Every structure is written in C-alpha cells, then in structure tokens.
Structure 1
Amino acid sequence: MASAAIRQQDQALNLLRQKGMVRLAEFNQAGVAATTISRMEKAGLLVKLSRGVYRLPDAVRDTHHSLAEAAKLVPKGVICLVSALAFHELTDAIPSRVWIAINSRDWKPNATHLPLEIVRFSARLLNSGNDTHLIDGVTVRITNPAKTIVDMFRYRQSEGVRYRQSPGLNRALEGMREALRQRKATPANIARYAEEAGIWKIVQPYLEAMTANA
C-alpha cells in the first residue's frame, strides 16, 4: 500500500511540473486518489489554490496567473472583455476580477476565492476570435484584440439592465484607440467581428472617426 501511495504521489508531482496547475479531476484521471492529494496538501507538497485546483508550493507565478487559474476553474471558458483588454495591454485599468465567457447553456462555476465575472456568449460568438496562450503551463483561451474590442461594444453600459456590470462605452473606445495605435488590430478585422456580432452600425461611426485622419 505504501509503495502505491508513493507512486501516486510521484505521478501527482510529475503532473504539476508538466501542467503548472492541475484540477482534482485530472489527478483522478491519472490514477491519483483524492486521499493522496489531501495527504500531500497537509505535508506541504502542493498548494490548493481554490476548490479542486492545485499547484506546487514553489511554482513561479506569471503576471497573468489569475487568468490561468480561471482557465482551470472554467475549462470551457474564454477570457474576455476587460481581462482580455488588460492582457493585450490595451488599457491602463487593472481588473479587480477575471472576466470569462461561457456558453449560454454551460454550468456556471460556484463562488471561489478567485473573483470571477461570468458572462454568457452564444456558441457561435464564444468560439470566434480566440487565441490560445500558455500561462503558468496552462493553455488559456483569450479573445484576440479585435474580437475583444467588439465584445466591449456589445457590453457597453448603454445596453441597460442586461449589462449592468458593463465596463462602459469609454473603456471600449479606449481599447479601440490603443489597438489601432499599437497596430494590434486592423479596422478590417474590427469591422469583420462587428458584422459577425450584428453591431456594425454601432461600431462603424467610432471606427471611421478614429481612422479618418490615420
């Protein structure tokens, strides 16, 4: 029994070294029992970040560590809106929570120590305009700059009750201005995602005004 426990412990440590952060379900799939994880946590061999998510105690944390943690907590989610804007360095704002989009029918995660702002996208929009980034060994899906800007316009404050947690129109304009200035998004790409989202008539005057004297 002792040798089996040691093998499980070694397997758990190998997984953590490979992936950076590991969910309990991933340990279980690899043949590591929850009791082994509990013993390792008590012995200080791993650290519990939030419900069912673990990392090594001496792991070096990336600046965007919270995005990786959110991706582990919500495996089907996509980092979006203000969090994506900050990741792409298109705003000076530091988000107080991680904005993450899920499918309109997906399960919403329970509250954790990590502050999450969950928004729901249709399946079509959720799977459009995403790039993958490796953060702390975790593959994280994040909306690209052009898609992020369009999403910001979709969630602008003037939409009312549905978007009462909206970051507002000014933040959308800030993101568009910076993306064009830094050449992280082209007018054509922004227009394409706006058309796809059905808000081109809303985005068009702002985009034309910013590109008129370019």
Structure 2
Amino acid sequence: MNVTVGDLPPTFTTQSARASGLHPRDLYKLRDRGEILELSRGVFRRADAPTPDWPDLLAVAYRSPVAVVCCVSALAVHDLTNEIPPAVQVAVPRPRRTPTIDHPPTQVFRFDTATFGLGLSTIEAAPGETVRVYNAHRTVVDLMRLRHTLGEPLAFAALQRYVRRRDARPGEVLDFARALDVLGPVRTALDIASAG
C-alpha cells in the first residue's frame, strides 16, 4: 500500500502513521522535505493543514490523551491572563504516572481522581481537533488552590478578571470551590474582587 501525505489526518502520531502503512523512514523523509511538521516527539502535522490556534496544546494532547489543560495555560485559553505560560500546564489524575514531555516544555500537576473530571470542557485547538481543558470557573478555583505554588498575585488577578466578564457566574465558582475544598479563601477573594 502506497500512503501519501493526503491520506493522513491533519495531526497524527508515528504510531497512527505506521498503522496507515507509512514506514518510519518515509515519515522522516516527509518531515525533512517539509511536507509534515514535527510538533513534538512522535507527533506530526501536515504542512498543508490549517494552522492550529493552539499548536503546543495540540501536541501535548496527542502525547498524553488523559491530560487536561489547566492553571496558567487554561487561563490563557479563557483570556483570563496576559501572561504567557513558560510551559504547557496540564493535569493528570492521581496515581497515574506523570508524562515526560520535553517539547513543548510541559509542567504536569497531579489532581485528585475523585474531582479530576469537574469542570472538564474542550476547545478547538485546530479546525476539527479538540483538546480537553478545564472551564473558566474551575480554572480560577484551581489557581486559588495552588496560589502558594503559582503565586497569589496571579490567582487574585485571574479572579478579578473573571468577575468583570459578562458571562461570570460567581455562584458556580463557589460550587467548584466547595467541591475542591477551598471555599473559605475563594469566598473571601470573590467578595474582595466583586467589591473592587
């Protein structure tokens, strides 16, 4: 079977290319000729495919399908920060093994299995290709939970920015805070942010 670039999906892995009948040496020839781009080790994108909005998130999602975009990376997705995260931040459920991804730089958090699925949503990282990400409500609560690690100024700024949005739902933020056992600090910060 003679596989061409057009036979491959827009984003694919070495494994899926092999399953389609493409030999690894041919895969790397296509990369060297610029017909495909390597997003991360073992993750490729056709050069003729539409440019992804979130290429790093797409690459990490292919490397670790169970991972969910979280923290500062999720803030960026939801337009709740002007900071550019130095690494793609994702969560995996405990006790799952933490994936090791060098490129793009990735920081992995391990979240409790019982609450891992709370606030799970998706974004379109590239046309027709989705990536799992925590919704805005969960994200601001996670920043408050991790404020001693990621920084209180970042957490409070994200919460203030969230409160100013038209689609802000402080009640849902409190529901997530209750479920994630951080209700007191979030309620206090929410009161301050709402008054400001």
| Match of residue 108 from structure 1 | 98
- TM-score by structure 2 length? 0.89
Matches within 5 A, 1:8-23: 8-9=3-4, 12-16=5-9, 20-23=10-13
The answer to whether 1:200 aligns with 2:193 is no
> Any idea what the Cα deviations from partners look like across 1:17-59, whole Å, max 9, x if unmatched?
xxx3211222234444434423433443212222110012244
Aligned length: 195
How far apart are 1:83 and its partner, in Å?
0.6
Residue range with higher mean Cα deviation, 82-91 or 20-29 = 20-29
RMSD: 2.0
> Any idea what the Cα deviations from partners look like across 1:161-192, whole Å, max 9, x if unmatched?
xxxxx321111111111111013431101000
Amino acid at match of 1:47: L
Q: Secondary structure at the match of 1:54?
A: strand
What is the aligned-residue identity percentage?
Answer: 28
Larger radius of gyration: 1
Matches within 5 A, 1:156-167: 156-157=147-148, 166-167=149-150
| Counterparts of 1:75 and 1:127, CA distance in 2 | 14
| Match of residue 140 from structure 2 | 149
Identify which of 96, 121, 125 aligns with 1:131.
121
Amino acid at match of 1:55: R
Contact 1:145-1:184 within 8 A present in 2 as well: no
| Match of residue 65 from structure 2 | 75
- TM-score by structure 1 length? 0.82
- The ranges of structure 1 where at least 4 consecutive aligned residues each deviate by more than 6 angstroms after the TM superposition are none
| Match of residue 190 from structure 1 | 173
Q: Secondary structure at the match of 1:191?
A: helix
Distance 1:15 1:107, change over 3 A: farther
Contact 2:43-2:62 within 8 A present in 1 as well: yes
Q: Secondary structure at the match of 2:91?
A: strand
| Counterparts of 1:186 and 1:199, CA distance in 2 | 17
| Match of residue 87 from structure 1 | 77
Gaps of 5+ in 1: 158-165
Identify which of 156, 164, 187 aligns with 1:181.
164
Contact 1:40-1:46 within 8 A present in 2 as well: yes
| Counterparts of 2:102 and 2:55, CA distance in 1 | 15
The answer to whether 1:211 aligns with 2:194 is yes
> Any idea what the Cα deviations from partners look like across 1:73-110, whole Å, max 9, x if unmatched?
22111001001101111111111211111112223223
Residue range with higher mean Cα deviation, 20-29 or 67-76 = 20-29
Gaps of 5+ in 2: none
Identify which of 39, 42, 47 aligns with 1:49.
39
The answer to whether 1:118 aligns with 2:111 is no
| Counterparts of 2:35 and 2:52, CA distance in 1 | 20
